[in-house]
Amino acid sequence: MPSAPLILASASPRRRELLERVGLALEVRPADVDETPLPGEAPRAYVARVARAKAQAIARPGAWVLAADTTVTIDGAILGKAADGPEAAAMLRRLSGRVHEVITGFTLLGDAARDEVVASEVELVALDEPTIAAYVASGEWRGKAGAYAIQGIAAAFVRSVRGSVTNVIGLPLVEVLDALRAVGTPGARLAHGIAS
């Protein structure tokens, strides 16, 4: 098994926590890449492209890099991270009482490369204006695709999830662990024992 470290190319504390909870030792090196969607870019293609760009930005010989990008999509539109409170409120109004998709692309890059895209369907309850205003005032939406965090206060807005819950948090853990085991990255056997 390779002795190279596993580098997480992400500043997301949620991704780091998910991986550390299953026993993976990480070196965290956030990647600084442009996350602007290209004109007409489909949501799945978008997250796959950005995840690969993040991994390539951090790649170095003898190391494995894991990078990911998550977005929310509804009506074919990509809802990334809201720039401000009014934009966050507009996103929440759009998602209110409806089903949307949370899509994460991840890349594992080292001696080989693996790219995967995982989607989950999320249904939110109908949100009234006072609820939206209170949530925006909480600030929890900052830095979150679709302007909500399922692992926080917004858990109360989620009627159902079809698919990976950890994907909605920001990293589809089962699929990532499968990819890590497939390439024999450090700690994969430990994570396998915990996840099995």
In three-state secondary structure terms, 101 is strand
In three-state secondary structure terms, 196 is coil
Per annotation, catalytic residue among 34, 69, 75, 178: 69
69 is catalytic: yes
Residues 73 and 24 sit within 8 Å (Cβ to Cβ): no
Task: With CA atoms as reference, report the closest residue to 69 among 91, 89, 90, 45.
Answer: 45
The 3-state secondary structure of 20-86 reads HHCCCCCEECCCCCCCCCCCCCCHHHHHHHHHHHHHHHHCCCCCEEEEEEEEEEECCEEECECCCHH
Q: Which residues are catalytic?
A: 69
